[in-house]
Amino acid sequence: MTICPACSPEHSNKSLDPLCNGERIWTTFLFTSFGILLGGWIIIFIYEVLSELCVKLQNIRSHGTKENTHLKQMNLPHGDDAADYDCNWLQEIKSWDNNIISGQTKMGKTFFAVAKSKRRFWFSLYSIVDIFTISPSFLAFYLNRTWIGFRFLRALPLMSIPNILQYMGVIERPRKIRIAQLASKFIALLLTASGFVHLVENSGDFFCDYCNAQELDAFNAVYFMIITMTTVGYGDFSCKTYIGKSFVILSLMGGLTIFATMIPEFSNLFGSKGPYFDRYHRVKGRRHVIICGHTTPHSLAAFLRDFLHKGREKMEKLDVLIIDRKVPDIEMEAILKRYYAKLQYFVGSIMNIADLQRVQADKATACLIIANKECQDASSDDSANIMRVISLKNFNQRIRIILQLLQYHNKLNVASIPGWNMESDEVICIAELKLGLIGMSCIVTGFATMMTNIFRMSSYNIQKIHDMPSICFGNEDNPDESTQAWSWRDLYHRGAGMKLYLEELPPSFYGKSFAESALVCFKLGVMLLAIEKERKDEHGNTRIAVDVVPCDDCIIIRGSRAFIVCMSSEDANRVKYYCSICYPIIDNLTELQLARMRVCFHARSTDWVQNEEMPIIDQPGDSEESEHAIVTIHDADVTRPLMTQQSERICTPCYQRSNTFLDEDMSSFDSTGMFYFTPSRNIQDAVLDVNSLREYHNIRHRSKTVQDGGVQCKHPLQFRDPIDSNVQYVEQGHTDEADLPFFLTTPFASGTAFADSVLDCILSCAYYNENAVNLLRNILMGGIDPQLEEILAEGKRFEQCQTPKMLKNRRRARVIILAIQDLIPNIDTRTEPVTFSSLFIESLGRHRMVVMGIYRRLDVLFQKDPSPKSDRPVDYNKRIVIYYPPYNYEIDPSDLVYAMQHSHLKGD
């Protein structure tokens, strides 16, 4: 008997099991399992070889015997019957094969029979477990002896528990499935390793005559493997056998790697229940908005800067909730810390009802869906956003949704969604607004800069602008020289600080025309752009319409609201609190009087109606005739296409109406009025005279000539880049503006640059101002009627039609850029300087134009600019957009004027 040198002599003859009487037959159990494993593989190999031989012999026999082939052909049916027979035969084979491979039938339960590679299946993990655990059980009955053996291998099938739970539908979510997979794998490997240690430590080393065995129960074996895998090693238990020590070494090298990869994943799965997976707790008195879609730090930085600006009135009691599938990264966490009091982040999906309940989407004031402006596939991004709208409307149809889409034709799909409200819900098409702004900027240089500054909130400190001296209306006769010495950046910042507000007009405006109301608002220190009022269509339905600089027949009625542009909400409240009885004369109001305007008792009286007609504007009799063409219409049965673009250089057609068949309420042909149609006539009547046309062109050219060489016909290139920080590379000499926001750079102030980030301010303005997007659409393309969008959503398209009535005259405004001589012809001969106040009043009274600002050359601005020359741009011929300058600011003869005018005026 060989005695292990590491063992004491008293353990050499000691047996752990007295019933064995010193006889160990564990080799019989072990080699029986190995014999079954190898014998089965040999039988499978012989079976496959014989099967291949039988197939080859059958093929040779079938090809060698012609009579058998002839008999088979005779037995088979002919013609259509033969084809049906082949189809039925193939169908039966397919059905039999499906039953075999299906695990839900009795035949499919035998996995071994349907295995593609039977030898590979014989040596699979679960087959080896069955061979080494089931076969020793049968042998134990025969020998009347048992062996602990490889019973621990029965723990390996625990790894299939997640699959069983998925089949039963117990776990469905990916997170739960992954947790079940990791937990089952960890438990199976731990129990298997503990079982092996339990076997060898209780049996001892066979080459040491089992003298180094020790009593170790199953619990202590599991405990030992846990402290070994965690590299703790308390030392209270240790392996004494060489086989056990060798196994621990191998398990430390292999098992530690497996467990090291599992532990971090476990921590991520269980530790993800952090602040981003909580439920939103709504506080009484506060509102919340949900933001979803393309929520990245780059897309949210500019949007949140404008949406959560301190100048917003409703922002104080507003919470912003961002919901996205991804856990916020470092950049997103920086944004969350920057707006800690207003912004919350939730990990989830807007498509999941449970996540919608977490963020309380049914109680949210609105849901803003942001599009990915830099995506390669615009259709897929729009489809994903439309699916988000469907999910929200299915959850709660009353929630207000403001949706961003990349392509215009996808708007038709949104209008057909059940629960979509054309009045409260809004679709902002990126391509529509972006191309519209760029297109209008090609006609009116600086248009995009001017309109964008109106819709956005100033992100820079405007305290300096408020501290500047401001001359009230009526005191412009004593201009302050300091306003003329403002730097060009201060003038631009003042215009960029203007904001768009929507206020309800008081009873003092009832019965007034738009021109009269615009002059009153101008004297109150604000600019009136449009009127929102209810209008009934031909079917009697009432809808909200936005009229931008409407005609003289537009009268202010009860319930009308005004789109006004001013510096702050306090200035906008002047219009809301204005009372013509308390302030009958508003020409000489001081700033203190304007600041003290509050609601008076006249405004509280509902029976008070203003009956006085105060002619505010005297219409001059010698006003210049507008450019127009006369068209005689003799038939009302004409074709009317719908167009949406025009240039201010196109002649405005008028009508010579025949009272024999036309009513006084003459209808227009489309919403824009760019094209008009008459019945057919002789070709000789339509031929143009070349000499007359050349003379007309020369007259137009001379009328547009000013001191600086005329109105610029060459517009600067509109540079568009999705990343606004690249604006520093547009022109030379502006590299020092790298740290400035995009809205304050010289290329944007001059109207030569455009970035996609400017469209984010329209999204935020659409939330605070319901009809802000409709206002912009009316200015850009005349607007589209909501009823027309509903018709297009049903699948209708534009077709030629014939009706007995004309549509009404187009009700849209156009923004034009003119030389100062077109508005004030005698500006060069006037002794007194022309201020912005006099320019506004004279343009409104003579031409019915609302002057919005000026486009001034830099060399004129630098004449009285006290700033050092090092801070000035290189190109002095560049012009800067100055929106709504001070009232006493003097106009230069070289200035170009931005004006908004209705396309058809009464009396044209």
Residue 20 lies in a domain: no
pLDDT at 450 over 50: yes
**Same domain? 168 vs 309:** no
DSSP one-letter code for 510: T
404/437 same-domain check: no
265 and 281 in a single domain? The answer is: no
Residues 600 and 740 in one domain: yes
Based on the fold, state whether residues 490 and 616 are members of the same structural domain: yes
**Per mean pLDDT, which range of 244-248, 453-457, 873-877 is the poorest?**
873-877
- Half-sphere exposure (Cβ direction) of 808: Cα atoms closer than 13 Å: 7
CB 544 within 8 A of CB 423: yes
Q: Please, is 849 exposed, middle or buried when counting C-beta atoms within 10 Å of its C-beta (0-12, 13-18, 19+)?
A: buried
Residue type, 622: D
Q: What is the mean pLDDT of the chain?
A: 73
Query: Which one-letter DSSP state was computed for residue 685?
Result: G
Q: Please indicate, yes or no, whether residues 297 and 320 belong to a single structural domain of this protein.
A: yes
Is residue 689 situated within a structural domain? Answer: no
Residue in the structure block whose two tokens are 């080896």: 128
Residues 547, 574 within the same domain: yes
- 343 — pLDDT class (breaks 50, 70, 90): very high
One domain for residues 385 and 462: no
Q: How far apart are CA 808 and CA 538, in angstroms?
A: 11
Taking 80 as the threshold, does the pLDDT of residue 85 lie above it?
no
Is the confidence at residue 77, as pLDDT, over 80? Answer: no
Query: Over 80: is that where the pLDDT of 810 sits?
Result: no
Query: Last residue of some domain: 271, 301, 326?
Result: 271
Closest residue by Cα to residue 516 from 623, 624, 614: 614
Instruction: Report yes or no on 706 lying in a domain.
Output: no
Answer whether residue 690 is part of any domain: no
Q: Give pLDDT tens digits for 137-164.
A: 777 777 777 777 788 888 888 888 888 8
What CATH number does residue 258 fall under? 1.10.287.70
Q: What average pLDDT does the segment 11-17 reach?
A: 46
> How is 575-597 classified by DSSP, letter by letter?
HHH--TTT-S--TT--HHHHHT-
Are 417 and 459 part of one and the same domain? Answer: no
Burial class of 679 by CB neighbour count within 10 A (0 to 12, 13 to 18, 19+): exposed
Look at residue 765 and tell me if it is in a domain.
yes
- Under 8 Å between Cβ of 451 and 479: no
Of 322-336, 578-592, 654-668, 715-729, the poorest mean pLDDT is in 654-668
Domain count, the chain: 4
**Nearest C-alpha neighbor of 616 from the set 524, 696, 683:** 524
Residue 19 domain flag: no
Reduce the DSSP state of residue 214 to 3 states and report it. Answer: coil
* Residue 667, domain member (yes or no): no
Q: Are 447 and 440 in contact (CB under 8 A)?
A: yes
In 3D space, the residue among 251, 265, 267, 268 whose CA is nearest the CA of residue 189 turns out to be 251
- Residue located via tokens 């604006």: 727
Q: Is 74 helix (H, G, I), strand (E, B) or coil?
A: helix
User: What count of other Cβ atoms lies within 10 Å of the Cβ of residue 548?
Assistant: 25
Q: Do residues 225 and 194 make contact, with C-beta atoms less than 8 angstroms apart?
A: yes
pLDDT tens figures, 373-428: 888 898 999 999 999 999 999 999 999 999 999 988 888 888 888 889 888 899 99
Among the candidates 106, 124, 146, a domain finishes at: 146
Do 750 and 603 share a structural domain? yes
Residue 460 counted as domain residue:
yes
Binned at pLDDT 50, 70 and 90, residue 809 comes out as very low
Instruction: Burial-class residue 179 by CB neighbours within 10 Å (0-12, 13-18, 19+).
Output: middle
Calculate what percentage of the chain has a pLDDT beyond 70: 65
Which of 555, 597, 590 minimizes the C-alpha distance to 576? Answer: 597
- Whether residues 397 and 490 share a domain: the answer is no
- 215 and 327 belong to one structural domain: no
SS3 95: helix
- The domain of 108 spans 26-61+94-146
Decide which of 271, 295, 320 is a domain's last residue.
Answer: 271
Tokens of 132: 């080494």
The rounded distance, in Å, linking the Cα atoms of 443 and 711 is 12
Question: Reading across the β-sheet that carries 499-504, which strands appear in turn?
Answer: 499-504, 561-566, 527-536, 542-548
